[in-house]
Amino acid sequence: MTSTEKLPGLPAPSAEALALSARLQQQMAAEIGTSGGWISFARYMELALHAPGLGYYSAGSRKFGAAGDFVTAPEISPLFGRALARQVASLIPQGLPDIVEIGAGSGALAQTLLAELAVLDCLPERYLILETSGDLRQRQQQRLEQMDPKIAGRIEWLDALPDSITGVIIGNEVLDAIPAHRIRITGAAIQELGAGMSGDDLVWSSRPASGELAAAAAKLDLPDDYETELNPAAQALIRDLGLRLVRGVMLFIDYGFPAHEYYHPQRNRGTLMCHYRHHAHEDPFLWPGLQDITTHVDFSAIDDAGHGAGLDLLGYTNQARFLINCGIIDLLAEVPATDTARYAPLAAQVQQLMSPAEMGELFKVIALGRSVSSPLLGFYNGDKSASLHQNRVTL
C-alpha cells in the first residue's frame, strides 16, 4: 500500500518522508529479488525499523511524544520513573552497583529514574545505555547531559553488551520492537509469512516453515486458519543477557500476555500492530520506514528463555499492580489535591498508566534474576507468575 486509500484518517507524510520511504522500499525490493522473491517477515521488520539511514529507528523522524507516533510510559508521567526508582533503590544496596538500560528511547526514563535515585541517595555507580539507533543515542545524550554533573558523569553509552553484568537491567518497550516471525496454519501445513513484490507493491507472501521455526510452531498445536507470531530473537536476547548477568535483576516492561492468552482462539490473527502519528493499524507495508511495527510479547516464552540461561523468575504482574506496589499513589499524594493546577494533570497521567482500559492491564512487568532474594517490591502483592505456565485454552 502506498497511499491512505485503504486506511482513511491517517495524516499524509511529507514529500521528503515519502521519498525516504520509497528509497527503503527499493532496497527491500532488491533484497527480495536476490532472495528468490521472498524474505521473512522478521527480515522485513528488521529493514523497516533498522535499515541504516532509512529505517524507522535509524532515520531522524520524531518518534516519541505528542509530535511523534506513540507515547511511552516515561513520557506520559514522571511518576512512572519515580515509582520504578523505588524498586531499583531496593536492589542497588544489595551489591548491584550498575544499571543497564536496553533501548533508552527518548531518554525520559533514564532522566527521571536517575533524578529520583539521587533524591533517595541511591545513585548507581554507572548507568549504562545500549542503544542501537544512532539518532536516538544523540537525542538521549542531548537530554541527559543537561543533568547535574554528579549524575550525568555516571552515564555511559555502550556499543555492545559488556561480558559480565552485576546490577539491574531495564528494558521498557524493547521486546515488542524486536523483529518477529509470522506463521499461518493452513490445513496440516505450517506456512511462514513474509514479504514479496507484486509489481511495485510490497505484499504478503508465504512459504513452508522449516527448521526451528516449524518445530516451535508445531508445539503450539494451533488450529486451521490461524495466524500468529513467534519471536526467537527476543528469547535469544533474554538468554544472552542472562548468561552475562553474574548477579542481579532484569526488569522488562511491555505489552503482552502469557502463552495461554497469547494463543487464545479469538486471537487468530496474531498481535501485529503498526503505529503512525498516534493511529494504530495492521498494515506493515504502508510507508516502510515511517511507522513503528510491533508485536505483543509472549511472556511465557520470555520466562522460558530466562530459565534456559539459569535465571530465576522473581515476579510477573501487570503494570498497575507493579506501580502500586512501588508507591505511585504515595508519590501522587505528595501534591495536594487542592492544588488543582498541579494535581489534576498528574492524576490524569496516573489514570492512563494504571487504568485497565489504558495501560494498566495490557502492560506487564517481568523480573528475572540470579542470586537475588524475592519477593521484589514491585511484586509484593498481586504476583501472577503462576499464569505464565497455565494450561493454554484448547483450540
Evaluate if residue 64 carries a pLDDT over 50: no
Q: In this structure, is residue 23 part of a structural domain? A: no
- Contact of 44 with 284, CB cutoff 8 Å: yes
Per-residue pLDDT at 67 exceeds 60: no
pLDDT bin (cut points 50, 70, 90) of residue 70 is: low
Residue 394, pLDDT > 50, answer: no
Residue 142, domain member (yes or no): yes
Q: What is the pLDDT of residues 364-393, one digit of tens each?
A: 999 999 999 878 999 999 999 999 998 754
The reply to whether 33 falls in a domain is no
Q: Is 195 inside any structural domain?
A: no
Domain of 84 in residue numbering reads as 65-179+231-389
Which pLDDT score is estimated for 4? 41
Confidence category of residue 59, pLDDT binned at 50, 70, 90: confident
pLDDT digits over 159-195, tens only? 999 999 999 999 999 999 999 999 999 988 999 999 9
Average pLDDT score over the chain: 93
Closest CA to 189 of 176, 165, 206: 206
Residues 241-279: pLDDT tens digits? 999 999 999 999 999 999 999 999 899 999 999 999 878
Q: Which long-range contacts (CB under 8 A, 24 or more apart) does 34-40 make?
A: 37/196, 37/197, 37/205, 38/194, 38/195, 38/196, 38/205, 38/207, 39/194, 39/195, 40/181, 40/192, 40/194
Percent over 90 (pLDDT), the chain: 87
**Domain at 285, CATH number:** 3.40.50.12710
How confident is residue 395, by pLDDT bands cut at 50, 70 and 90? very low
Q: Which three three-digit cell numbers place residue 58?
A: 535509524
Q: Is the pLDDT of residue 318 over 80?
A: yes
The rounded distance, in Å, linking the Cα atoms of 80 and 73 is 6
Residue 196 lies in a domain: no
Angle between helices 78-89 and 340-354 (to 10 degrees): 70
* Number of domains the chain contains: 1
pLDDT band at residue 61 under the 50/70/90 scheme: low
Q: Are 336 and 325 in contact (CB under 8 A)?
A: no
How much is the pTM?
A: 0.94
Residue 190 domain-assigned (yes or no): no
Q: What is the pLDDT of residue 69?
A: 56
pLDDT at 62 over 90: no
Q: Decide which of 15 and 390 is more confident.
A: 15
Q: How far apart are CA 372 and CA 250, in angstroms?
A: 11
Is 186 inside any structural domain?
Answer: no
What is residue 133's predicted lDDT score, i.e. its pLDDT?
A: 86
- pLDDT, average across residues 143-148: 96
What is the Cα–Cα distance from 299 to 302, expressed in whole angstroms?
5
In a domain, 5, yes or no: no
pLDDT at 227: 97
- H or E stretch at 183: strand 181-186
- Classify 96 as helix, strand or coil: coil
Sign of the CA dihedral running 286, 289, 290, 296: positive
